[in-house]
């Protein structure tokens, strides 16, 4: 059986798989271009959400559909839960929604660029359902495929745990 996979194939929920690694320069206006293939895989949205990564000095880009999936669990909780409210406030104040221009560029606030150490160049890493933005110094190029880490990732992602 043969599967024909096209570059704009998407999952049942309308989201494609964001894979690969790109390095781009920030332009003089501090904009970065989201690769056209990824824009297509994201469903060609008008905007993206940018959140600081709580575990590393990088930024996470989410499509509106993916952000809605992340927020589904939050919506099921009590609307006036005090701890939830504080968490949402921290997340909301630390994040932003940005518009993509006709050339697929986004302008990230200086505060978030500084958090991730993004000055001239940006490494963009596809993480299947999101994009991570790194400074080249914090996300050095892998010369070889990390076989041990890959084996661990496959076992965590693809082993049936039922």
pLDDT digits (tens, 9 = 90+) for 82-116: 888 898 899 999 999 999 999 999 999 999 999 99
Give domain status of residue 150, yes or no: no
Range of the structural domain that residue 41 is part of: 21-140
The CA distance from 107 to 93, in Å, is: 17
Q: What phi and psi values does residue 141 have, to the nearest 5 degrees? A: -60, 135
The answer to whether residue 12 is domain-embedded is no
User: Is 149 contained in some domain?
Assistant: no
- Residue 9's pLDDT band, with cuts at 50, 70 and 90, is low
pLDDT average, residue stretch 107-134: 95
Mean residue pLDDT of the chain comes to: 85
Q: How many CA atoms lie within 13 A of 56 on its CB side?
A: 10
Give percent of the chain above pLDDT 70: 88
In whole angstroms, give the CA distance from residue 51 to residue 65. Answer: 15
61 is a domain residue: yes
Q: Is residue 3 part of a domain?
A: no
Q: What is the reported pLDDT for 121? A: 95
Q: Is residue 78 part of a domain?
A: yes
pLDDT band at 2 (very low <50, low <70, confident <90, very high): very low
Q: What is the CATH number of the domain that holds 81?
A: 3.40.1550.20
**Coil/strand/helix, residue 79:** coil
With pLDDT > 90 as the criterion, what percentage of the chain qualifies? 55
pLDDT at position 125: 93
Q: Is 104 left (phi over 0), alpha (psi -120 to 50) or beta?
A: left
């Amino acid at each position: 059986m043969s599967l024909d996979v096209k570059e704009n194939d998407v999952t049942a929920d309308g989201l494609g798989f964001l894979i690969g690694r790109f390095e781009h320069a920030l332009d003089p206006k501090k904009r970065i271009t989201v690769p056209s293939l990824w824009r297509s895989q994201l469903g060609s949205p008008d905007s993206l959400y940018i959140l600081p990564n709580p575990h590393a000095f990088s930024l996470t880009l989410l499509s509106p559909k993916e952000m809605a999936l992340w927020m589904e669990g939050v919506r099921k909780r009590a609307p006036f839960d005090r701890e939830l409210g504080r968490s949402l406030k921290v997340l909301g104040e630390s994040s932003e929604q940005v518009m993509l221009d006709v050339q697929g560029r986004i302008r990230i606030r200086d505060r978030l660029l500084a958090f991730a150490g993004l000055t001239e160049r940006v490494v963009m890493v596809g993480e299947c359902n999101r994009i991570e933005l790194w400074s080249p110094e914090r996300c050095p190029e892998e010369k070889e495929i990390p076989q041990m880490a890959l084996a661990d990732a496959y076992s965590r992602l693809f082993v049936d745990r039922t």
